[in-house]
Amino acid sequence: MVRRNIILSENLDKSLGEAATLLGEKKSGIISRALAQYLDRLDLEIARERASDYEANPASVLSAEELRRRLGF
């Protein structure tokens, strides 16, 4: 585990505190789960964007062989 300091608005901190009390969890646990879910969603959005870019221009993707050649391997 790594400790991080964050700054929240008063309203967000109040909502976080209420959720923690309701769920019987620590605020840090809720923040960790929320951040993990956000990053998973962001990863999915990036993957969809890349897939869309590929579908729009499949010729822009290099084969593994071509990539190795360009990198000098």
2 in a domain, yes or no? no
- Residue 24 DSSP label: T
* Tens digits of residue pLDDT in 4-58: 999 999 999 999 999 999 999 999 999 999 999 999 999 999 999 999 999 999 8
Q: How many CB atoms lie within 10 A of CB 32?
A: 13
Report the number of distinct structural domains present in the chain.
1
Residue 32, SS3 per DSSP: helix
Where in the sequence is the domain holding 18, given as residue range(s)? Answer: 10-71
pTM, rounded to two decimals: 0.72
Which residue, chain included where needed, has tokens 């960790």? 32
1 in a domain, yes or no? no
Report whether pLDDT(61) > 90.
Answer: no
Quote the CA–CA distance of 63 and 72 in Å, as a whole number.
Answer: 14
Show the tokens assigned to 21.
């009390």
44 in a domain, yes or no? yes
Q: Which residues contact 8 (CB under 8 A, 6 or more apart)?
A: 16
5 in a domain, yes or no? no
24 in a domain, yes or no? yes
